[in-house]
Structure 1
């Protein structure tokens, strides 16, 4: 079992109630990464559903999460042959941290798309640079060691400060950390972490700063093959202290496996 698998494990304690032990390795500064919290909630939602895949998930982030015990409350809002919808809320010390709705379904791994937009032009991982601009910014920050990140040359130049970008876009590849055991037991369970694992896309316009997520919706579009995920992240509008971020993920076969859209604040 990888560290990710054990860090996202949940324990059922009663009808609609689960507990989790949140792992300090997923800290970014003093707060746990939002994608990691979504991955924990996804485990609980799938445990309450007869379907194996979280095809649509929408979360509001109310407070930052901290390492240690956490409680999860669930309520199945609809049960159906095609879709089961589960409401989930993560709390610590009686205070709600994240709340959302997860629609679960069963995707066919062998499905052939009737239409699919071509993958973004992303250099192969061998031509990308392993890097994370958040590394060494805080003694409490363990997250850069949990996800291996490889940035395309143009993105690396922008993130490292050698050639700031004119447009908010980053591309490259990411995967569960080899140091933590590499590939997870079920690659689809890694997707909620993956869509929120990257530095804020506005980092290419300026130096890295905190960028708390207000709301994030993501969709699982296909069952991913094991291996690194190619990514493209972009913003359409950066204004008045707010920005949006859209992330697309492709698996090693070039299939679009996940999409996300979030609204976030520009850090201070």
Structure 2
């Protein structure tokens, strides 16, 4: 079992309630990474959706930062159908709700061929890319950057390293779970983490600062093959303390496996 699988385990306490122990290895500074929290909530919710193991559409609101240690989760089945089960899940610590989400769960056929899909970006292979995480140098701690390996294209690396000016916010490259942590057995859970694993896209236009997510919606489009995920992230507007970020992920077969869009606070 990988560290990610252990870190997202939940214990059912009955009546739609669960307990989790949030792993400090997924901290960014003093707050738990939002994608990690989504993966924990998702795992708790999907336990109530037998036959529908894939979170085809999810939307989360982040109310307050979460810290490591014990957390409680409340789940509720809002609708059960033949193809979709809709659920709500809320994570709390010390009696305060921190994250709440709605999940529409279904079943994706790993063998299904798409009628149409956006082509994967033409990226150099991971071995031709470079590792960098501005969050690590900013906090002085490994933390989250030790759980996820990110390989940026030379163009993105230059922008993040402040060697060139970026005309618009964009990130591209590959990511995967740290090899020492093992390959996650839960691909849907890892996708929830991956869509919020990158440095804020505005990091290419200003030095890294904490940029908490306010709302994030993501779609699982296919069950990924094991291996690194190619990513492309972009932003359309950063103004008045707010910015948006869109992320797309492709697996090693070049299939689009996840899409996400979030609104976040900038410069806190």
Query: Runs of 5+ in structure 2 lacking a partner?
Result: none
Partner of 2:145: 144
Instruction: Provide the rounded CA distance (Å) in 2 between the counterparts of 1:99 and 1:187.
Output: 21
SS at match of 1:135: helix
Residue of structure 2 in register with 1:253 after alignment: 253
Provide the C-alpha distance between the structure 1 equivalents of 2:214 and 2:27, rounded to a whole number of angstroms: 18
Deviations along 1:160-204, whole A, 9 cap, x unmatched?
Answer: 1111311100000000111212x1112222001000000000000
What is the match of residue 176 of structure 2? 175
Q: Which residue of 2 aligns with 1:52?
A: 53
Please say if 1:221 is aligned against 2:221.
yes
Q: Deviations over 1:18-62 (max 9, x none)?
A: 000000001101100000000000100111102110111100000
| C-alpha separation in 1, matches of 2:207 and 2:165 | 9
The CA deviation at 1:141 is: 5.2
**2:3 aligned partner:** 3
Instruction: Determine the C-alpha separation between the residues in 1 that align with 2:257 and 2:191.
Output: 8
Q: Which residue of 2 aligns with 1:126?
A: 127
What is the TM-score normalised by the length of structure 1?
0.97
Aligned partner of residue 115 in structure 1, secondary structure: coil
Residue equivalent to 2:156: 155
1:108-147 deviation line (CA, Å, top 9, x unaligned):
0000011112122222112110111111432565000010
Aligned counterparts of 2:229 and 2:45: Cα–Cα separation in 1: 24
What is the rounded CA distance, in whole Å, between the counterparts of 2:238 and 2:205 in structure 1?
A: 10
2:116 is matched with which residue?
115
- Conservation of the 8 A alpha-carbon contact between 1:29 and 1:141: no
Alignment match, 1:93: 94
Match of 1:18 in 2: 18
Give per-residue Cα distances to partners, 1:84-113, cap 9 Å, x unaligned.
Answer: 001000000100000010110000000001
Q: CA RMSD in A?
A: 1.0
Q: Give the count of matched residue pairs.
A: 267
Partner SS, residue 86 of structure 2:
strand
Q: Is the 8 A contact 1:215 1:262 kept in 2?
A: yes
Q: TM-score, normalised by structure 2?
A: 0.97
1:199 lines up with 2:202 in the alignment: no
Residue 138 of structure 2 contacts residue 208 of structure 2 at CA under 8 Å; is this kept in 1?
no
Give the conservation status (yes or no) of the 8 Å contact 1:30–1:140.
Answer: no
In structure 2, how many angstroms separate the alpha carbons of the residues matched to 1:171 and 1:226?
Answer: 19
Counterpart of 2:41 in structure 1 is: 41
Where do 5+ consecutive residues of structure 1 fail to align? Answer: none
Segments of 4+ moved more than 3 angstroms:
none
| SS across alignment from 1:35 | helix
Is residue 211 of structure 1 aligned with residue 205 of structure 2? no
